[in-house]
């Protein structure tokens, strides 16, 4: 892929390959990923490889209304724009990430951080909070009544359920906090059992849901990617 830009009035074409795609989850705060800790994460990653951050449809600076199906479809298009990719996905961003990794041959590795394995992994309280944030804070565009929101989310989650696709993927790193009160750690445990080798499960002892803010977690992700997935097993951090 190449991007044409203007630098101090000078035309430049930048070629970008061998990227790490960073997938955000359902936002708790309004705004773009470039305004949040994802930007700091990408800058840190840039010491080691070429990171790409973006807003899913219905979020931040992206157009369109929220629908998990659109997340999946658009992410496949994004990932397919590069010749080789590694994917790092947080929470609900892992749903399109798993589907893409299972269906695109040029995905080299996948890291899933606190990803729901299925619709049942998301509690009713969490669903109400997601909907409340969307309506009162504008975190998701195009969300209407609660019933329609839940019905469409469940339909899409069932179709693209990570449990259906994870068994087709190798080179997967699972990361989950033992004290995650949004997505239970059992979600990652179920997917880990199904994934192909090489695979690794990193349990963050005492960790909550927002693990992207933990430097030790980010360093572990970098190590997994650059060491070519040679180490397998289950570890505590």
pLDDT, tens digit (0-9, with 9 covering 90-100), for 201-224:
999 999 999 899 899 999 999 999
Residue 189 has pLDDT above 60, yes or no: yes
What are the domain boundaries of the chain?
A: 18-236
The yes-or-no verdict on residue 232 having pLDDT over 80 is no
Number of CB atoms found within 10 A of residue 41's CB? 21
The mean pLDDT of the chain is 93
Assessment of whether the complete model's pTM goes beyond 0.85:
yes
Q: Which of 212, 184, 158 is nearest to 45 (CA)?
A: 212
CB atoms within 10 A of CB 33: 22
Of the ranges 33-37, 102-106, 131-135, 143-147, which one carries the lowest mean pLDDT score? 33-37
**Residue 27 near residue 133 (C-beta atoms within 8 A):** yes
Q: Are residues 32 and 19 in contact, defined by beta-carbon separation less than 8 angstroms?
A: no
pLDDT score for 235 = 72
Q: Do the Cβ atoms of 194 and 165 come closer than 8 Å?
A: no
The residue ranking higher by pLDDT, 154 or 237, is: 154
More confidently predicted of 180 and 232? 180
CA dist., res. 167 & res. 103, Å (int): 12
Provide the pLDDT confidence category of residue 17 given band limits of 50, 70 and 90: confident
Q: Using 50, 70 and 90 to split pLDDT, how confident is the model at 227? A: confident
Residue 191 main-chain phi, psi, to 5 deg? -70, -35
Q: Structure tokens of 37? A: 């800790």
The SS3 call for residue 146 is helix
Confidence of residue 73 (pLDDT cuts 50, 70, 90): very high
Looking at residue 1, what is its pLDDT? 84
- Please determine, for residue 228, whether its predicted confidence score (pLDDT) is greater than 70: no
- Two tokens at 218? 């980010």
* CATH homologous superfamily for the domain 18-236: Alpha/Beta hydrolase fold, catalytic domain (3.40.50.1820)
Examine the pLDDT at 169 and tell me if it is beyond 90. Answer: yes
Peptide bond into 210 cis (omega under 30): no
Contact 219, 210 (CB under 8 A): no
Q: Beta strands 19-23 and 50-53: pairing type?
A: parallel
CA 209 to chain centre: 13
pLDDT of 161 reads 97
What are 162's two structure tokens? 């990570």
């Amino acid at each position: 892929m190449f991007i044409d830009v203007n630098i101090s009035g000078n035309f430049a074409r930048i070629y970008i390959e061998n990227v790490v795609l960073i997938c955000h989850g359902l936002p708790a705060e309004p705004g773009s990923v470039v305004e949040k800790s994802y930007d700091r994460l990408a800058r840190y990653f840039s010491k080691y490889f070429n990171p790409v951050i973006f807003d899913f449809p219905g979020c931040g600076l992206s157009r369109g209304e929220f629908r998990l199906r659109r997340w999946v479809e658009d992410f496949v298009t994004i990932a397919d724009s590069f010749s080789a990719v590694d994917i790092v996905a947080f929470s609900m961003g892992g749903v399109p990430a798993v589907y893409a990794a299972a269906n695109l041959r040029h995905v080299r590795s996948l890291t899933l951080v606190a990803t729901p394995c299925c619709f049942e992994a998301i509690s009713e309280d969490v669903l109400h909070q997601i909907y409340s944030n969307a309506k009162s804070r504008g975190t998701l565009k195009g969300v209407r009544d609660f019933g329609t929101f839940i019905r469409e989310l469940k339909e899409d989650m069932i179709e693209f359920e990570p449990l259906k696709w994870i068994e087709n993927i190798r080179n997967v790193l699972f990361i989950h906090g033992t004290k995650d009160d949004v997505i239970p750690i059992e979600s990652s445990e179920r997917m880990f059992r199904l994934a192909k080798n090489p695979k690794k499960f990193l349990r963050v002892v005492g960790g909550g849901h927002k693990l992207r803010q933990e430097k030790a977690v980010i360093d572990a992700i970098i190590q997994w990617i650059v060491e070519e997935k040679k180490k397998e097993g289950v570890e505590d951090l």
